[in-house]
């Protein structure tokens, strides 16, 4: 019953969009993702309340299956998840973005901060064989929490539909 | 003999304990997974926990449905104990509900109270107030440096830059004690002066906002440093002056904790309604399997409780139908076990009494017949014997005194007749004597007295009889060495002597070619009583199968002589002693008669 609820909830949560850009340089695949949302005000208000926001970019590089084993599905070549946590520093009076353990940037202007927070700059995802680029494609999705809920409060994310916004998977071809 | 087992199976208990431990482990793991490790917030990462958390109650539910279906079938087929079982299960479930409902209410109430306590408005106000104070302090410090570094007083103090740097530093400290260091750079960025706290010293001065002059706060492990820079035109030159201070030790960490606490508090406050509902949901989610388990346990326990009762009911029904061979075994040591023991003893005594009564009735009937026979036959026997003897006497007398008597019949004819007469009369008298002996045995059997019980040494009795037969028969050896000297039975010595004599005589007679009679004894426990068991074994030809059932019947014998009362008397005496007798035999191997006699009291 719980699983059914969770699956249903995840479908309802998938109303947002994301844009995925891919770049291929010297056999290396780079991807940049942008979250096209309407929740920037919610992020800003949570910053001002002293709360943090979290955005997760999930990237997958696939190679298309062909031949007799095609029914097994496409092969996952690599996967990356990048977390960004945003907060507002009341002492310094600016926004801060943390990526993993390192500080990614400090912004005084809201627009500048939102643009940085909702986008993932070019990130290396893996290598492909030169010449076979057409066999590869990328998928990306974004999971955004205007309020990064601390443990153990985060169990409410299983039930509350307005705490997490998840985009559907966005696909992009790998072009030479 | 069919036997019912009534026992608390340790396997069942072990299974219950294992299920309970498994459930607790699952709850701990799952709750940990849910409450602690959900930060990743990826549902798939917790999929195993969800599957287990859902599969386990489903398995329990399936088992319960199976048990309920079985109970319904048992009730439909009117299986003994099914009604009692249903009632007990309902009671168990009610008890589980009655105990869990207040517990659930208490827990929900506890969660509500705790959350209300922690989310009390004044705690939020205090946190926000603390943050405001620390912010005010911080901004005050920044503002102080900014104003001081742009004041006309500072321009005046800086006139001593080249003339007297020490006075400059002294004046700075006098005017603004919060300033802990000063650093001056020339137009090229070279340091001209530094005075004060050395931790505040910059290697070089980078770009800064000339409007405010605020430099980014430097966070070091041991301190955080505030700086402000301003540009001055002095004595024809352009100088950058940096003043700064160190924030109090621990300010950063405390400010950070305050911010984090406020974050947690704000979240709790924002999501308290949902969080409360989620907690209550998980409480029931975790306690539901425990409730299901308690129902399952009630099924298993009920089965254990009613099994001896059902067995007793079944056994009682069988006994009422006349089958006394039922016994119930119990390995436990509770009251039900005592009840089962009492029932077994009761059935055993009932069976024994019934057998004794049947035997007594049979023997009494035979005794009645024997008494009547003795009475009816005894009376005419004496006149028959006397008349026959008188005929012989009269004839002998007359034949001897009358000379003509012999002549009339001829000497040879008279002599022949006398011979025949004498032989016939002797035969009549002998048979009458035999009949008389038989009647004596009848009378003995009919008037067998009740035993006068006393504690007697078995070995002495056996030795006395064995010695007598050792003297009578040299072909048969009698071994009585395996009767312990301290074997004491409660018996009438005379009657037991008769029993032993009968059995040993039978054994000796069963071995006309010779052989060995072996007599031994041992103490045995039977149905909570102690007996002295005596084995009398011969190596004869055994008892033929067709007559084994009639061995103890009165007037039955396989021998040419005897009235067939020996073993009947033996059986009667043993029964009168509250004992038991039976035999084991195999043709061409031998026969063993086995007697159980109650143990006597050992002399001190």
Chain segment B291-311, per-residue pLDDT in tens: 888 888 888 888 878 887 888
CB contacts of B228 in chain A (<8 Å) are none
pLDDT, position B604: 46
Chain position carrying tokens 């004819």: B413
- The pLDDT-based confidence of A30 (bands split at 50, 70, 90) is very high
Chain position carrying tokens 């089962």: B340
pLDDT, position B128: 87
pLDDT, position B159: 87
pLDDT, position B409: 47
**Residues B54 and B183 grouped into a single domain:** no
Alpha carbons B191 and B198: distance in angstroms, whole number: 14
Question: Which of B290, B207, B208, B273 has the alpha carbon at shortest distance from B21?
Answer: B290
pLDDT, position B47: 65
Q: Is B536 helix (H, G, I), strand (E, B) or coil?
A: strand
CB pairs under 8 A between A and B: 79
Chain position carrying tokens 């087992």: B5
B125 found inside a domain: no
Query: Which CA distances in Å does B543 have to A162, B41, B516, B533?
Result: 98, 90, 17, 21
Chain A: closest CA distance from residue B50 (Å): 7
Greater confidence (B348 vs A110) lies with A110
* Spatial contact of A59 and A167, defined as CB atoms under 8 Å apart: no
- The pLDDT-based confidence of B38 (bands split at 50, 70, 90) is low
- Which alpha helices (H) appear in B324-478, and where do they start and end? 335-401, 403-409, 411-446, 458-472
pLDDT, position B147: 92
Burial of B383 (0-12, 13-18, 19+ CB in 10 A): exposed
pLDDT, position B562: 67
**Residues B238 and B293 grouped into a single domain:** no
Residue B269 is encoded by which pair of tokens? 């406050």
Question: Which of B6, B10, B11, B20 has the alpha carbon at shortest distance from B296?
Answer: B20
Greater confidence (B280 vs B453) lies with B453
Q: Do B263 and A51 touch (CB under 8 A)?
A: yes
* Spatial contact of B569 and B495, defined as CB atoms under 8 Å apart: no
B327 found inside a domain: no
Q: Is B582 helix (H, G, I), strand (E, B) or coil?
A: strand
CB contacts of A151 in chain B (<8 Å) are 35-36, 38-39
pLDDT, position B36: 59
B604 found inside a domain: no
- Which alpha helices (H) appear in B36-158, and where do they start and end? 47-76, 82-118, 121-149, 152-157
**Which of A60, A149, A150, A162 would best serve as a mutation to test chain B binding (most B beta carbons within 10 A)?**
A149
pLDDT, position A112: 94
The continuous run of DSSP H or E covering A48 comes out as helix A40-48
Most confident of A53-67, B349-363, B423-437: A53-67
**Residues B594 and B458 grouped into a single domain:** yes
Residue A52 is encoded by which pair of tokens? 């943090």
Final residue before a domain boundary, out of B293, B320, B347: B320
Chain B: closest CA distance from residue A1 (Å): 8
Q: Is B565 helix (H, G, I), strand (E, B) or coil?
A: coil
Residue B45 has pLDDT above 60, yes or no: no
Q: Is A134 helix (H, G, I), strand (E, B) or coil?
A: helix
B142 found inside a domain: yes
Greater confidence (B430 vs B592) lies with B592
Contacts of B503 (CB under 8 A, 6+ apart): B536, B570, B593
Alpha carbons B215 and B227: distance in angstroms, whole number: 5
B259 found inside a domain: no
Interface residue B48 vs chain A (CB under 8 A): no
| Cα-to-chain-centroid distance, residue B420 | 88
**Residues B491 and B550 grouped into a single domain:** yes
* Spatial contact of B234 and B161, defined as CB atoms under 8 Å apart: yes
Q: Are strands A170-173 and A94-99 parallel, antiparallel or unpaired?
A: unpaired
Lowest mean pLDDT among A130-134, B148-152, B424-428: A130-134
B474 found inside a domain: yes
On average, the pLDDT of chain B sits at 82
Residue A13 has pLDDT above 80, yes or no: no
Final residue before a domain boundary, out of B427, B446, B465: B446
Confirm whether the ipTM is greater than 0.90. no
B330 found inside a domain: no
Domain positions in chain A are 18-169
Alpha carbons B270 and B115: distance in angstroms, whole number: 12
Lowest mean pLDDT among A35-39, A146-150, B23-27: B23-27
**Residues B393 and B345 grouped into a single domain:** yes
Alpha carbons B94 and B107: distance in angstroms, whole number: 20
Final residue before a domain boundary, out of B191, B218, B249: B249
* Spatial contact of A140 and A18, defined as CB atoms under 8 Å apart: yes
Residue A5 has pLDDT above 60, yes or no: no
* Spatial contact of B161 and B183, defined as CB atoms under 8 Å apart: no
Q: What percent of chain B has a predicted confidence (pLDDT) above 70? A: 89
Q: Are strands A53-63 and A75-89 parallel, antiparallel or unpaired?
A: antiparallel
Alpha carbons A11 and A4: distance in angstroms, whole number: 11
Residue B583 is encoded by which pair of tokens? 């035999």
- The pLDDT-based confidence of B533 (bands split at 50, 70, 90) is very high
Interface residue B277 vs chain A (CB under 8 A): yes
Chain A: closest CA distance from residue B48 (Å): 11
Q: How far apart are the first and last CA of chain B?
A: 40
Average pLDDT over residues B333-343: 79
Alpha carbons B456 and A127: distance in angstroms, whole number: 107
**Residues B98 and B148 grouped into a single domain:** no
Q: Do A159 and B39 touch (CB under 8 A)?
A: no
Contacts of B106 (CB under 8 A, 6+ apart): none
Alpha carbons A96 and A106: distance in angstroms, whole number: 4
On average, the pLDDT of chain A sits at 83
Average pLDDT over residues B470-494: 84
pLDDT, position A7: 38
Chain A: closest CA distance from residue B13 (Å): 32
Residue B286 has pLDDT above 80, yes or no: no
pLDDT, position A6: 40
B426 found inside a domain: yes
Average pLDDT over residues B155-180: 90
**Residues B288 and B220 grouped into a single domain:** no
pLDDT, position A70: 76
Neighbours of B179 (CB within 10 A): 23
Q: What percent of chain B has a predicted confidence (pLDDT) above 90? A: 17
Helix axis angle, B335-401 relative to B411-446, nearest 10°? 160
Phi, psi of B241 (to 5 degrees): -110, 125
Query: Which CA distances in Å does B332 have to A16, B80, B232, B526, B573?
Result: 68, 22, 102, 20, 39
Neighbours of A151 (CB within 10 A): 13
Residue B301 is encoded by which pair of tokens? 């326990």
* Spatial contact of A164 and A149, defined as CB atoms under 8 Å apart: no
**Residues B438 and B459 grouped into a single domain:** no
Instruction: Provide the domain count of chain B.
Output: 4
Q: Do B266 and A49 touch (CB under 8 A)?
A: yes
- State the residue range of the domain holding B152: 132-249
**Residues B290 and B307 grouped into a single domain:** yes
Alpha carbons B286 and B181: distance in angstroms, whole number: 62
**Residues B21 and B61 grouped into a single domain:** yes
């Amino acid at each position: 019953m719980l699983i059914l609820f969770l699956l249903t909830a995840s479908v309802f949560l998938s109303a947002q969009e994301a844009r995925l850009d891919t770049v291929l340089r010297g056999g290396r695949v780079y991807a940049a993702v942008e979250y096209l949302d309407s929740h920037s005000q919610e992020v800003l208000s949570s910053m001002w309340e002293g709360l943090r926001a979290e955005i997760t970019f999930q990237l997958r590089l696939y190679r298309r299956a062909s031949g007799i084993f095609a029914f097994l599905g496409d092969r996952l070549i690599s996967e990356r998840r990048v977390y960004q946590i945003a907060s507002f520093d009341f002492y310094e009076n600016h926004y801060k973005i943390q990526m993993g353990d390192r500080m990614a940037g400090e912004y005084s202007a809201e627009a500048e901060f939102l643009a940085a927070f909702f986008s993932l700059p070019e990130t290396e995802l893996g290598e492909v064989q030169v010449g076979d680029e057409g066999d590869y494609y990328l998928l990306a999705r974004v999971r955004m929490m205007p309020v990064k809920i601390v443990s153990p409060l985060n169990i409410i994310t299983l039930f509350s539909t307005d705490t997490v916004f998840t985009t559907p998977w966005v696909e992009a071809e790998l072009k030479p | 003999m069919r036997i019912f087992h009534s026992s608390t199976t340790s396997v069942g208990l072990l299974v219950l304990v294992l299920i309970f431990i498994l459930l607790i482990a699952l709850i701990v793991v799952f709750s940990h997974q849910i409450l602690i490790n959900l930060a990743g917030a990826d549902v798939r990462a917790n999929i195993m926990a969800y599957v287990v958390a859902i599969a386990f109650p489903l398995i329990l539910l399936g088992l319960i449905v199976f048990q309920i279906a079985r109970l319904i079938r048992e009730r439909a087929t009117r299986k003994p104990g099914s009604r009692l079982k249903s009632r007990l299960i309902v009671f168990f479930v009610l008890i589980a509900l009655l105990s869990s409902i207040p517990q659930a209410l208490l827990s929900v109430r506890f969660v509500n109270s705790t959350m209300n306590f922690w989310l009390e408005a004044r705690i939020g106000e205090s946190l926000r107030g603390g943050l405001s104070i620390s912010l005010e302090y911080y901004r005050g410090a920044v503002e102080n440096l900014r104003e001081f570094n742009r004041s006309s007083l500072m321009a005046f103090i800086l006139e001593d830059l080249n003339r007297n740097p020490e006075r400059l530093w002294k004046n700075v400290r006098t005017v603004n004690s919060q300033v802990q260091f000063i650093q001056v750079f020339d137009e090229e960025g070279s340091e001209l002066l530094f005075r004060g706290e050395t931790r505040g010293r910059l290697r070089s001065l980078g770009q800064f906002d000339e409007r405010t002059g605020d430099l980014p706060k430097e966070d070091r492990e041991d301190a955080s440093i505030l700086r402000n820079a301003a540009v001055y035109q002095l004595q024809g030159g352009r100088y950058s002056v940096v003043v700064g201070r160190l924030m109090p030790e621990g300010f950063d960490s405390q400010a950070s904790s305050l911010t984090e606490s406020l974050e947690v508090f704000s979240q709790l406050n924002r999501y308290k309604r949902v969080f409360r509902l989620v907690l209550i949901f998980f409480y029931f989610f975790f306690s539901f399997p425990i409730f299901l388990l308690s129902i399952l346990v009630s099924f298993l326990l009920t089965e254990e409780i009613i099994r001896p009762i059902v067995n007793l009911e079944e056994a009682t029904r069988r006994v009422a139908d006349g089958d006394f061979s039922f016994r119930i075994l119990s390995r436990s040591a509770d009251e039900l076990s005592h009840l089962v023991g009492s029932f077994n003893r009761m059935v055993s005594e009932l069976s024994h009494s019934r057998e004794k009564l049947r035997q007594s009735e049979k023997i009494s009937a035979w005794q009645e017949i024997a008494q009547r026979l003795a009475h009816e036959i005894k009376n005419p026997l004496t006149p028959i014997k006397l008349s026959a003897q008188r005929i012989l006497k009269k004839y002998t007398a007359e034949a001897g005194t009358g000379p003509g008597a012999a002549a009339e019949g001829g000497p040879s004819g008279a002599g022949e007749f006398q011979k025949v007469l004498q032989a016939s009369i002797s035969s009549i008298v002998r048979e009458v004597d035999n009949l008389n002996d038989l009647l004596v045995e009848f009378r003995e059997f009919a008037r067998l007295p009740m035993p006068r019980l006393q504690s007697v040494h078995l070995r002495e009795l056996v030795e006395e009889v064995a010695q007598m037969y050792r003297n009578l028969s040299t072909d048969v050896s009698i071994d009585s060495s395996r009767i312990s000297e301290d074997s004491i039975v409660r018996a009438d010595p005379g009657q037991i002597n008769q029993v032993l004599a009968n059995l040993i005589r039978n054994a000796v007679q069963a071995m006309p070619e010779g052989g060995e009679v072996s007599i031994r004894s041992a103490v045995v426990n039977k149905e909570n009583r102690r007996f002295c068991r005596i084995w009398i074994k011969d190596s004869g030809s055994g008892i033929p199968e067709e007559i084994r059932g009639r061995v103890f019947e009165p007037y039955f014998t396989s021998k040419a002589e005897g009235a067939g009362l020996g073993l009947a008397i033996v059986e009667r005496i043993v029964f009168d002693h509250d004992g038991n007798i039976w035999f084991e035999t195999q043709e061409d191997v031998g026969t063993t008669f086995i007697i159980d006699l109650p143990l006597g009291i050992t002399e001190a």
